[in-house]
Structure 1
Amino acid sequence: MAGDPVGAACELEELLAVQGDLLAAFDPLRLATRHAFAYWKAEAGDPGRAILLLTELLADQAGILGPEHPQTLVTRHTLARWKGAVGDRGRAVVLLTELLADQTRILGPEHPQTLVTRRTLARGQSRSAGEDV
């Protein structure tokens, strides 16, 4: 579905329904699909819904995978990014600052995900109010 975020979101929503019949609610594969679905919902023009989905997913991931699991950290980054995209730049910067501290401790300062968060945070802090993080 290259170049078709609406189509990607629809496909992932259908996949989630199938996974619901086959996998436990908190199966890691299903959690990963939920993340992809939320991401593509945002890309398809519904970042508000994506934020709700990511917030629910983050709670589930923290409880099932643990707060330090790499996928939980990725969801935190995605959530912060979309918070900034909808105009909640201050909250996005706070979330990214907290995430960066945790990634540095857990993954290390040179880890690619840590560096991506550092870059995203620097971009968010350097932009004027109202711009995407």
Structure 2
Amino acid sequence: MATGDSLAANRFSIQFGKFIAETVPGVTGLPLSSEALEAKQVDADGSLLIRKPAGAPQLNEITIRRGMDKSAAFTEWVKKTSAQQKPDEANPDLTIAAFDGQDTPVKRFHLTNAFACRWEGGQLDASASEMAKETVTISYEDLTIE
């Protein structure tokens, strides 16, 4: 890829370690944010200095769209990490990998201490000619981009 070219990613996977649990059509979000602090000080000349150091990291969220119950491994992870289940039994870290048209990984997003905080089933309509889809919202503490 030449300098300045945009990244073309056509396929995304959810991974636990090196194990690909599922391929998904889309992921939205992937923010990394922290609380913004403001510190006001006066220097030796009496001038006001305003600094904005980074504060505590915030929980961030992504949303994954997927076919309803497509992967048993990912569905089990969602169940175990949700507030009603046993998050200690599930691997709290996961990776979202982006692949180009030749199935070469072009970027990885490692989510630390992730857990499913919301699940929403799609519209169930017998007269519709589309696949049943669901969305899973995942909160995480830290994001590392590789």
Q: TM-score interval w.r.t. the shorter chain?
A: under 0.3
Higher strand share: 2
TM-score (norm 1): 0.24
Q: State the structure with more CA Rg.
A: 2
Higher relative contact order (CA 8 A, sep 6+): 2
TM-score (normalizing by structure 2): 0.22
